[in-house]
Amino acid sequence: MDSHGQYEQRVVWAVVGTDIGPLLLAATREGLVNVVFHATDAVRDRALERLASRLGGEPVKEPGSPLLAEAIRQLKAYFAGERQGFELPLDWSLISGFNREVLRELAGGVPYGSVVGYGDLARRVGQPGAAQAVGMAMGANPLPVVVPCHRVVESDGGIGGFGGGVETKRRLLALEGVLPEPLF
């Protein structure tokens, strides 16, 4: 318990090297809670500060934690082309409301190797005309890659934006066979 009699959330984290750069993974007892792109020291430190303020308690570096082991294994298999989906417990506590509803639909309804438009995803959650709000939900996704916001594209065929950068989005879509591999 903290000094106010509240239970602190135990958060463990590790940085994992991938084909798209280092990813910070953080988990609670509930499941994977955060995936952060380009986890350089500065990015990592800001992400850990945000987690501490949002969830309480200081995140602890524990790359061998059982809370992270399966997420690390599945992400490595995904980047090796050996896995097309994730079967992990997820802690949705960093997101709520419309954003959570959209991300849950995305996680369960847009399989590997396919894409969906922002407007189509808005219609799926009963909010036609909320394409921009869907874009905001994608930008707020605390679990990118695992909750595949890279699979959401513009209706006119454009790739759209991406919190990890457009080049990272291209590489993820190429990994899934949606786009050709970059030439260089």
* Residues recognised as catalytic: 149
User: Is residue 33 within 8 Å of residue 91, measured between CB atoms?
Assistant: yes
Instruction: Give me the residue label for tokens 């992270």.
Output: 68
CA atoms of 69 and 60, how far apart (whole Å)? 15
Instruction: Specify the pairing of strand 32-36 against strand 60-61.
Output: unpaired
Residues 145, 78: contact at Cβ < 8 Å?
yes
DSSP class of 5? S
* Sign of the torsion angle spanned by Cα atoms 179, 128, 33, 52: positive
